[in-house]
Each structure stands twice: as C-alpha cells, then as structure tokens.
Amino acid sequence: MTAVEIAAAVRSGQRSARSVVDEHLDVIADGDADIHAFNLVAAAQAQARADEIDGAVAAGNDPGPLAGVPVALKDNLCTRGLATTCSSRILEGWVPPYNATVVEQLQNAGAVVVGKTNMDEFAMGSSTENSAFGPTRNPRDTSRVPGGSSGGSAAAVAAGFAPVALGSDTGGSIRQPAALCGVVGVKPTYGLVSRYGLVAFASSLDQIGPFTTTVADAAAVLDVIGGPDARDSTSISQPQPPVSHTLADGVDGLRVGVLAELSGNGIASDVAARLQAAVGALESAGARVAEASVPAAVYGLSAYYLIAPAEASSNLARYDGVRYGLRVDGSSTPDMNTATRSAGFGDEVKRRIMIGTYALSAGYYDAYYGKAQKVRTLIINDFASVWEQFDLLVSPTSPTTAFSLGERTADPMAMYMSDVCTVPVNLTGQAAMSVPYGVGDDGLPVGVQIMAPALGEPVMFRAAAVLEASL
C-alpha cells in the first residue's frame, strides 16, 4: 500500500496503525541485514505510537493526514529519545534533547517513526560508503551502491521497509539516491521546509525532503512538512503552496526546457535515452519542449566543492570533544581536540574540512571561496534568465545508473562527478525532484530530474505526475 492508501485505511478504521507498523517491522527484520538501510530500528517506540493512533481513531478523532504511515528518518535529523549520529563516530550514541521541526510535523500528522537510516558521514558523499557503521546496499542490486548521502533512506523506501523516508539534500543527496534506487525524491525550494533540528553540513545549501514510491505520496508528505518556522531564520515566511491538489492538472501548454549543460557530455547513453523518452511523454501530454541553456551551470560542481566544504569547516568546528559526543583525552586541551577529531571523523569528512579551511584561510579567501560565491551568483542569474522562457527544466538526475560498491572510493573526483546534474539547483535554492523513469541497459533504475523556479513545486509535481502516469 502507498502512504496515501495506508493513511486512508487507518483513518477510516479499515486497518489498524499497529498492524501496519508491525507488518513493516517484520519486513525490516527479514531484509535489512542484507541492505543495512538502518542505523537504528525503533520498534518499541513505533508500536507504542501506533497504539496511540489506534486509540485516537477508536475515540472518533482524526490522527492526521499521514495516520499510521511508517516513516524512516535520515540519521542527521534530531529525534528526542533516539540516538542521532550522522553515521559518525564523533556523535555515536548522542541522544538529542529535542525533535527536529519536520519530526514534530510528521508526528502531528499521525506518522510513525520506525527508525534512523544510514548515510554518508555528516552527509558527505554520493554512495553511502562513508558511514562509520558500514555501507548501505542498493535493494535493486546488492552489489551496487544506493547513492548518497541519503542512501539509507532511499534504500529503505525501495526495499519496502517504509513507504516514506526523509533525507537531506546539499548537492543532490536526495535526488541522486532516489534515481539510483528507483524511487521519488524531492528537494524543495530552500527555506520551504524548516532546517531546525537538521545537523548542519552546509547551511546555505542543506534542505530536507521526502523519499516515496509515488508522486502522490511525496506531495502528501511535502504538504505536511513545508511551511514557515520561527525557529529557522532561513525559513520562508509565506505559507507553502499546497501541491497535492495540483497533481491532476497536467502539463498542457507548459514550457519545458531540456537543460543542455546537464544532458550532454558525460551522460551515459542509456540514461540519455530514458530522458528522451520522458521528454516525449511530456510532449505527448501537451507540453511545449525546447532546448534550454544555463551556461554557468558547467561551473556548478567547481563552485559547490569550495562553498560546501567551507561551510562544513565552520559547522563541524563544534565537534571538539568538550560539549557533546566523542572525547579522546590528551595532555592539553589542544591535544584533546586534535585526538578527538582525528579519531571521530572519517577520511572524507577530514578531506572536506581541510579543503574548506584552506579555502577560507588568509590569503586564499578571495581566490577560492570568494570566487566560488561569484560563480554561484552567475549560476543564479543564468537560471533567472532561463525562467523567463520556461516553466520547468528537465535533465538526467545522475549521469549513470548505480555503480558497484568500492568502484569510486579510491577516486574522489569520480565520486564527486556523480553530483554533476544535481548541484546547480542547490546553489540557486530552487526546487527539483527525481522521478523514476524506467531502467538502463543493466536493468537498474534511471531517474529524470525536474527543476522549477523557487516555490514552483505545484507545477513541478504536475509534470512528475504526468511522467509517472506515462509509465
């Protein structure tokens, strides 16, 4: 059953929330040893919450639009009473004293948290191989990666462990694993979903969004978690435009651009073929399709890998062995700080902290970080120009289908190229989502990326629904 179907059945009394939750916990128990989607399964808490929802239904109360829906949470979302580790030794065992806003919103809507999912440490990676607790495997082929950094969340939905999962997207960390695992993944407009309680990687880029098996489920979740939050200074103050009611509106007359800079060189031929099939489906549904160009997008990856590490260098300075998390004793405070961070952070996190610290250092700031911000502005301006001509843009989500475990771990640049199609939209703060659209030559899923201007989610979801229906 989809999330929408589960909620309808629970709200009407046709199914109990407890039976739904127990069913999914059984699937997790049977299958997660092969996948490792979860760092923590909260069985007892989930069952207790399900019983509360059933009690509300029995009393004639409506538990909410996601009543009884099992939800998996990426392990960088704070959960009161449940460990939040960011898949890092430096936070192993840390239990937050509060919930992230999105966790509160899901619970208020009747959803049931079933566990915390594995991820690349501090969301730094594209394969979920950088976790301190071991890699996650792709349910479509366990010899392949699920993508990253939200690979555990994508895998949980693809494997049927939960109909909904939340992830975070800093440079494609929702959309890329969604594509590789064959599920729907949404990166909302920056500021549309509160970041309060999300452990920060790069604060000007991070955004929370859902994974689901259907477009309608993603819309239902976004309608719950979107909206203003006074606790997040970057939250958009205006109400979120609802998306669920637009799904049947179609794309007739919409102007859709195929983004040339993200659809040409470097894209595998089988992925390109699926994009063309998707373009054909949009044209058949009445969209007016033409080639679009955002010239500065080709510099997106270069700018991102200066801006994101620079912000990470600042954000991760708080893990010093003093306030919380791991502490390794030393003969002095600086020795303790060094020993703690050396033992607590993995290689990829250390690499990005060093890159970011270098880019921010005296004598190099203007040459690296400052120039990257200027390039970011060029990308924003180029997108602003293209939105005058188009309502939506499309491209592949990932240049390839899922690659083999270990294939790119020794070559950081090859790994970073996995995000070449997704990072430009993080730099601009616009909306984007990945919709599964068939398989490549290897039989593995291919995702098509739909991009929209800021707060363009209602139109974006209309196109996603058309693509889904065309399959």
What DSSP assignment string belongs to 365-407? TIIIIIHHHHHHHHHHHHHHHHTTT-SEEEEESSSSSPPBTTS
- For 72-99, what is the mean pLDDT? 97
Whole-number Å distance between alpha carbons of 49 and 54: 9
Binning pLDDT at 50, 70 and 90, where does residue 80 land? very high
User: Would the pLDDT of 319 be above 90?
Assistant: yes
Burial bucket for residue 188 (CB in 10 Å: 0-12, 13-18, 19+): buried
Average pLDDT over residues 186-196: 98
> How many CB atoms lie under 10 A from the CB of residue 51?
14
Look at the block and give the residue holding tokens 């120039």: 371
Query: What is the 8-class DSSP label of residue 79?
Result: B
6: pLDDT strictly greater than 90: yes
Query: In the prediction, which pLDDT does 438 show?
Result: 98
10-55 residue pLDDT tens: 999 999 999 999 999 999 999 999 999 999 999 999 999 999 999 9
Q: Provide the token pair at 467.
A: 């693509």
Degrees to nearest 5, angle at CA 219 with 216 and 224: 130
pLDDT in tens, 435-451: 999 999 999 999 999 99
Q: Which of 132, 126, 134 is nearest to 150 (CA)?
A: 126
What predicted TM-score, i.e. pTM, was given to this entire model? 0.97
Given a cut of 90, is residue 239 above it in pLDDT? Answer: no
Identify the residue whose tokens are 């970057």: 234
What confidence category does residue 265 fall into, taking pLDDT thresholds of 50, 70 and 90?
confident
- What class has domain 3-241? alpha beta
User: What is the percent of the chain where pLDDT is above 70?
Assistant: 100
Parse the chain into domains and list their residue ranges. Answer: 3-241
Long-range contacts for 270-274 (Cβ within 8 Å, ≥24 apart)? 270/401, 270/440, 270/441, 270/442, 270/446, 271/396, 271/398, 271/399, 271/400, 271/401, 271/440, 271/446, 272/396, 274/396, 274/437, 274/438, 274/439, 274/440, 274/446, 274/448
* Beta strands at 38-41 and 112-117: parallel, antiparallel or unpaired: antiparallel
Give the catalytic positions in this structure. 74, 149, 173
Mean pLDDT throughout 369-398? 98
> Which tens digit of pLDDT belongs to each residue from 164-174?
999 999 999 99
- Residue 449's Cβ-count burial label (10 Å; 0-12, 13-18, 19+) is buried
- Is the dihedral angle over the CA atoms 125, 129, 132, 137 positive or is it negative? positive
| Angstrom distance (rounded) from CA 80 to CA 115 | 12
Q: pLDDT by residue (tens digit) across 281-295?
A: 999 999 999 999 999
Looking at per-residue confidence, does 130 or 239 come out higher? 130
Summary mean pLDDT of the chain: 97
